């Protein structure tokens, strides 16, 4: 199956008073039709900036795509003007943001906000747009959608507001949906409902989803493939089973070790020591070296390439070099890998 979206050697920089911040550094990934790719990592790893670059939403003039290609539907989105991107944004590629209250206009009725994109991108009458908006609100599980079309965002609960935002994102049947931590502001019960809703809609519409999160528990439930980002780079990429059953990068080990599990509440969580590097001055070698208990001299001198683990699994760590010493994951990670491989829940 062909890739619907191809990101190649993407670099995004921001000019600041302190200098140039290299927020995204040589990112590569692709996504196929109907597939869900999760991008995970700590805050500041470059997840949101990467997807905002795809949407053409990098803050200008300070921010820019300094290098790379974003190939979609025969076009390089990195080379399109703002006016050209307006025809794609919301129609072919849509985005759900983290906080629905900052995405919705508090002074505009919900129905009008759902209709806005339909009227902009599709040649339909106002009545047809209204009927489509009612259908969408019903699709995302809002009861009595016809009456609620005339209500304002403050009259909806947090979970219902997020459903409205999803309805807006789906208004023009996009080929790719980008979800930027869409459940972070919601409680656990509502979070599960929203994730289930997104999976159902994806199957109905055969849509590709890029799901940004720092929560590996969410990843386990929604993703087909996972890209682990650190300091503006993808450090590990694989199928969801590769990442949970056979992680290779020490940073991925750290993320898995810091994830609480339901089965063993007494199990100690492992914190990743230190802090991410300053991307005003990116490190010469592996950006994770200073926080890595397994770092070798070469980690401080040279960035590792992406080593192939399997046809679906790649990791950028010198530990995979043929001359590197054999290193096993920490005990807590090995226990979790064994639990996962025996069919235990990942969350």
Domain assignment present for 236: no
For 64-88, the pLDDT digits (tens) are 999 999 999 889 999 999 999 998 9
Q: Are residues 77 and 161 in the same domain?
A: yes
Predicted local distance difference test score (pLDDT) of residue 271: 80
The CATH number covering residue 50 comes to 3.40.50.300
Last residue of a domain, one of 223, 250, 270: 223
Q: Where are the alpha helices (DSSP H) in the chain?
A: 47-55, 82-88, 100-103, 110-121, 126-139, 145-148, 158-170, 188-205, 216-222, 240-245, 250-257, 331-341
Comparing C-alpha atoms, which of 201, 183, 179, 202 is closest to residue 192? 183
For residue 339, what pLDDT band results from cuts at 50, 70 and 90? low
pLDDT higher than threshold 70 for residue 97: yes
Task: State how far the Cα of 97 lies from the Cα of 212, in Å rounded to an integer.
Answer: 10
Domain assignment present for 230: no
Q: Are residues 74 and 156 in the same domain?
A: yes
Q: Are residues 206 and 257 in the same domain?
A: no
Threshold 0.85, pTM exceeds: yes
Domain assignment present for 13: yes
User: Count of residues for the chain?
Assistant: 347
Question: Residue 330: is it exposed, middle or buried by C-beta count within 10 angstroms (0-12/13-18/19+)?
Answer: middle
Last residue of a domain, one of 223, 253, 279: 223
Q: Are residues 55 and 180 in the same domain?
A: yes
For residue 317, what pLDDT band results from cuts at 50, 70 and 90? very high
Other CB atoms within 10 A of residue 335 CB: 14
Predicted local distance difference test score (pLDDT) of residue 172: 86
Predicted local distance difference test score (pLDDT) of residue 263: 59
Task: State how far the Cα of 26 lies from the Cα of 168, in Å rounded to an integer.
Answer: 32
Predicted local distance difference test score (pLDDT) of residue 340: 59
Domain assignment present for 228: no
pLDDT higher than threshold 90 for residue 28: yes
CA distances to 76, 150, 211, 324 from 228, in Å: 24, 42, 12, 22
Comparing C-alpha atoms, which of 8, 46, 35, 34 is closest to residue 214? 46
Q: Are residues 198 and 261 in the same domain?
A: no
Predicted local distance difference test score (pLDDT) of residue 122: 86
Predicted local distance difference test score (pLDDT) of residue 186: 72
Predicted local distance difference test score (pLDDT) of residue 216: 82
Q: Are residues 217 and 268 in the same domain?
A: no
Q: Are residues 130 and 189 in the same domain?
A: yes
Q: Are residues 317 and 210 in the same domain?
A: no
Q: How confident is the model over 163-170, as a mean pLDDT?
A: 90
For residue 38, what pLDDT band results from cuts at 50, 70 and 90? very high
* Total domains present in the chain: 2
Q: How confident is the model over 187-216, as a mean pLDDT?
A: 86
Write the DSSP assignment of 231-286 as a string of letters: TTEEEEEEEHHHHHHS--SHHHHHHHHTS--SS-TTSPP-PPPS-PPPTTS--SS-
Q: Are residues 29 and 97 in the same domain?
A: yes
For 249-273, the pLDDT digits (tens) are 999 999 988 877 665 555 667 788 8
Q: How confident is the model over 222-234, as a mean pLDDT?
A: 95
Domain assignment present for 37: yes
Q: Are residues 108 and 180 in the same domain?
A: yes
Question: Residue 151: is it exposed, middle or buried by C-beta count within 10 angstroms (0-12/13-18/19+)?
Answer: middle
Q: 3-class SS at 333?
A: helix
Domain assignment present for 83: yes
Domain assignment present for 231: no
Last residue of a domain, one of 196, 223, 250: 223
For residue 247, what pLDDT band results from cuts at 50, 70 and 90? very high
Contacts of 13 (CB under 8 A, 6+ apart): 20, 21, 22, 23, 63, 64, 66
Predicted local distance difference test score (pLDDT) of residue 98: 77
* Backbone CA torsion sign across 47, 48, 52, 53: negative
Domain assignment present for 133: yes
Q: 3-class SS at 178?
A: strand
DSSP conformational letter for 109: -
- Could you list the residue range(s) of the whole structural domain that residue 271 is in? 241-341
CA distances to 54, 238, 299 from 139, in Å: 27, 32, 50
Q: Are residues 161 and 208 in the same domain?
A: yes
Q: Are residues 187 and 317 in the same domain?
A: no
Predicted local distance difference test score (pLDDT) of residue 100: 75
Side-chain half-sphere exposure of 107, counting CA atoms within 13 A: 0
């Amino acid at each position: 199956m062909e890739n619907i979206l191809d990101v190649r050697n993407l670099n995004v920089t921001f000019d600041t008073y302190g200098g140039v911040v290299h927020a995204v550094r040589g990112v590569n990934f692709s996504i196929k039709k109907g597939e869900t790719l999760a991008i995970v990592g700590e805050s500041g790893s470059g997840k949101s900036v990467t997807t905002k670059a795809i949407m053409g939403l990098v803050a200008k003039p300070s921010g820019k795509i300094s290098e790379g290609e974003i190939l979609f539907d025969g076009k390089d989105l990195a080379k399109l003007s703002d006016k050209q991107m307006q025809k794609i944004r919301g129609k072919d590629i849509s985005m759900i943001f983290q906080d629905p209250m900052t995405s919705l206009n508090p002074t505009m009725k919900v129905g009008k906000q759902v209709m806005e994109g339909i009227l902009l991108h599709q040649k339909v009458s106002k009545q047809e747009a209204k009927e489509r908006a009612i259908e969408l609100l019903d699709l995302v599980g809002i009861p009595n959608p016809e009456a609620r079309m005339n209500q304002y965002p403050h009259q909806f609960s947090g979970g219902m507001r997020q459903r409205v935002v999803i309805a807006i994102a789906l208004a023009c049947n996009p080929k790719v949906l980008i979800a930027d931590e869409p459940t972070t502001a919601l409680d656990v019960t509502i979070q599960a409902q929203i994730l289930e809703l997104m999976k159902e809609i994806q199957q109905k519409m055969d849509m590709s989803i890029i799901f940004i999160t720092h929560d590996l528990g969410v990843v386990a439930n929604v993703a087909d493939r996972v890209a682990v980002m650190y300091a503006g780079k993808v450090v590990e990429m694989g199928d969801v089973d590769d990442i949970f059953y056979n992680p290779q990068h020490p940073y991925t080990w750290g993320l898995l070790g810091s994830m609480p599990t339901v089965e063993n509440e007494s199990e100690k969580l492992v914190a990743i020591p230190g802090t991410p590097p300053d991307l005003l001055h990116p490190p010469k070698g592996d950006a994770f070296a200073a926080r890595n208990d397994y770092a070798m001299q070469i980690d401080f001198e040279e960035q590792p390439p992406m080593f192939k683990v399997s046809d679906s699994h790649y990791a950028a760590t010198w530990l995979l070099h043929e001359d590197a010493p054999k290193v096993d994951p920490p005990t807590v990670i090995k226990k979790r890998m064994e639990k996962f491989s025996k069919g235990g829940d990942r969350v």
